[in-house]
Structure 1
Amino acid sequence: MKVGLELGEFGWDGGPAAMGRTVAEIATVADAAGYDLIGVGDHVWQGPHAGGPEMPQLECFTTLGVIAANTRRCRLAPIVAGVHFRAPALLAKMVTTLDVLSGGRAVLGVGTGWDADEAAGMGFAFPSLTERFTMLEETLEICLQLWRGDERPFEGRHHTLARPLIEPKSLSRPHPPIMLGGGGRKTLRLVARHADACNVYPGPDLAEKLDLLRALCAEEGRDYDTIEKTCIFPFAVGEDGTGAGELTDELHRLGEAGIDTAIGIVSGANPVRQVAVIGDKVVSAFA
């Protein structure tokens, strides 16, 4: 079992003036503690689960750049980029740049997106879910073509590229790993067809989701075992270590169920302390 973390809340001690220092400290502590991955939620408004749009929310890729500069080994990922925020070629360019500047540690986490109020409030187009699934597959096709170095024109339903070209190329080979967020049939089929990892919630239907992914891999001619199975949920561990034992037991159960990587959403006013405590009492148990 590998353990990662996601920055999903930013209501930290010290407010905006301390955010740069806090992000750098989280990155340094997590990297030294053995976390496998650091992710950042891709939103421009904070979600209702963390107080809504009046609460602070840092932009994902800018934050990942700061994290990259303060780490040496952790993988780095948007969890997960919404397809409605950026043109696919720009998304591929951003992930490639992150990969190059981090020494080959970027992951493309991507999904259909979900917050219609955020999109309307900030002026982003937000098509129907059916259309966003079409956009997601087209995004994957464009990213993979760019990373292959195939400069032939691309003509899709949503995007046309006259000359798909990225320089410099990514350091990750054959490309930065692709992780798709979501556990429904449509998403898991795209995982089987295009991705390197899935990202699901560890609810009571987890076994059903993994069984479905296995079946879809068989239909697509894909080796199920080549796909990294990740899940994401809040890590409820207090600054004094309360809850660490329960979390460790939960991660063992998830590993037995077939999960390879658990990503914890870190919250609270002092995230540096929480990351350090989880690293000491939980991550170390899986070293």
Structure 2
Amino acid sequence: MKIGVFLPQGWRMDLADIRDPVEKYETMSRCANEAEQAGFDALFLYDHFHTVPTPQLEAVFECWTSLAALARDTSTIRLGQMVTCNSYRPPSLLAKMASCIDVMSRGRLILGIGAGWYQHEYEAYGYEYPETPDRLRMLRESLQVIKAMWTEDEATFDGRFYKLRGAINEPKPVQKPHPPIWIGGGGEKVTLKLVAQHGDACNFNADVATVRHKLEVLREHCATVGRDYDSVLKTLEFYTILGDKREVDRVVADHARRTGQDESYIRSWHPLHGDAERIAEIIHEYAELGITYFIVNVPNAAEGGVFSRFAAEVFPRLGLEAGVKQA
């Protein structure tokens, strides 16, 4: 089992109490180093430009430029996106960016990718927002383009949406044959089939019953395309608040004040909250399904000390050791 963590980045208004944008980034960097020292396997960023649930005049740090900086601010923790939006960059450019960050981080990059969904953001930034079937077809082609750019001397591709003509991508990634590709989303007809065909990992954010069903669908797709089901890393992301009821109430109220959101909306993010025993118990429920990688999102991480506490209290209940790099 491995545990990763989302950094405060601004997307969920988690840096709103910090006015100076330079200090906002310094907080991100401090949290990254705290997570590394606490023994988390990887840090993850969202790939969004506007806050949720509604766009606010609040800083949101761009995913890939931030990862490039964090690659140099850290030394051992892996670096991922959950997930990068396929539509925001041509896949050839994305492959180039990913290669460079894998080199800059000495082989620590995870490429998380999805078809994209935040329509308001697309339109605000001038991106066309294709219908869902086309976004998924674009994702399918992108996965092929990215792998070609990572593994071929001169990549050529002739697709409906993307074309390459002898594209050279140097430097190649440090990781061989290439950095792991995590495909986000649980669409049963297309997305999970893409995982079986092209992905190294799937990612879910759902209750136990739903995840159980999605994994069965993935198993069927793997059988159809001749993929070893056990070779796919199964991952889950979840929002959590560690503490007793009083502490949970404080964090929720503080986040509501900071963001102007209803407490009921904030609580809906956090099905996994409570003391360390409770959190570990729910993680074990998912682990019994075959989930072996968990990514936690803690709304008050910018306060400092939150990742260290999670590692100290929860890791031992999962058979992990706080402060030790996960093997």
Give the TM-score band, short-chain normalised: over 0.9
CA contact (8 A) 1:34 1:284 kept: no
CA distance in structure 2 between the aligned counterparts of 1:108 and 1:80, rounded to whole angstroms = 8
Aligned to 1:176, the other structure's residue is in SS state coil
Aligned to 2:88, the other structure's residue is in SS state coil
Counterpart residue number, 2:259: none
CA distance in structure 1 between the aligned counterparts of 2:243 and 2:75, rounded to whole angstroms = 27
Counterpart residue number, 1:261: 293
Counterpart residue number, 1:113: 116
Report how many residues are paired. Answer: 285
Give 1:27-106 correspondences, 5 Å limit: 27-48=32-53, 52-106=55-109
Counterpart residue number, 2:181: 178
Counterpart residue number, 2:140: 137
Instruction: Flag structure 2 segments of 5+ consecutive residues without an equivalent.
Output: 249-273, 321-327
Q: 1:103–1:22: structure 2 CA closer, same or farther, 3 Å change rule?
A: same
Q: 1:175–1:271: structure 2 CA closer, same or farther, 3 Å change rule?
A: farther
CA distance in structure 1 between the aligned counterparts of 2:142 and 2:308, rounded to whole angstroms = 36
CA distance in structure 2 between the aligned counterparts of 1:219 and 1:227, rounded to whole angstroms = 15
Is structure 2 residue 134 aligned with structure 1 residue 151?
Answer: no
Give 1:228-267 correspondences, 5 Å limit: 228-238=233-243, 243-267=275-299
CA distance in structure 1 between the aligned counterparts of 2:150 and 2:301, rounded to whole angstroms = 39
Counterpart residue number, 2:4: 4
The alpha-carbon deviation at position 250 of structure 1 amounts to 1.3
- Larger Cα-atom Rg: 2
Provide the TM-score with structure 1 as the length reference. Answer: 0.93
Counterpart residue number, 1:218: 223
The alpha-carbon deviation at position 88 of structure 1 amounts to 0.2
CA contact (8 A) 2:34 2:305 kept: no
CA distance in structure 2 between the aligned counterparts of 1:183 and 1:17, rounded to whole angstroms = 36
CA contact (8 A) 2:87 2:115 kept: yes
Is structure 2 residue 206 aligned with structure 1 residue 202?
Answer: yes
CA distance in structure 1 between the aligned counterparts of 2:139 and 2:23, rounded to whole angstroms = 36
Aligned to 1:262, the other structure's residue is in SS state strand
AA paired with 1:263? I
Is structure 2 residue 224 aligned with structure 1 residue 192?
Answer: no
The alpha-carbon deviation at position 160 of structure 1 amounts to 1.2
Q: 1:110–1:222: structure 2 CA closer, same or farther, 3 Å change rule?
A: same
Aligned to 1:84, the other structure's residue is in SS state helix
CA contact (8 A) 2:42 2:80 kept: yes
Q: 1:210–1:39: structure 2 CA closer, same or farther, 3 Å change rule?
A: same
Aligned to 1:163, the other structure's residue is in SS state strand
CA contact (8 A) 1:23 1:63 kept: no
AA paired with 2:77? C
Q: CA RMSD in A?
A: 1.9
Aligned to 2:166, the other structure's residue is in SS state coil
The alpha-carbon deviation at position 45 of structure 1 amounts to 0.8
Is structure 2 residue 125 aligned with structure 1 residue 122?
Answer: yes
CA distance in structure 1 between the aligned counterparts of 2:284 and 2:7, rounded to whole angstroms = 23
The alpha-carbon deviation at position 9 of structure 1 amounts to 4.9
Aligned to 1:270, the other structure's residue is in SS state helix
Aligned to 1:25, the other structure's residue is in SS state helix
Identical amino acids, percent of aligned pairs: 36
The alpha-carbon deviation at position 60 of structure 1 amounts to 0.5
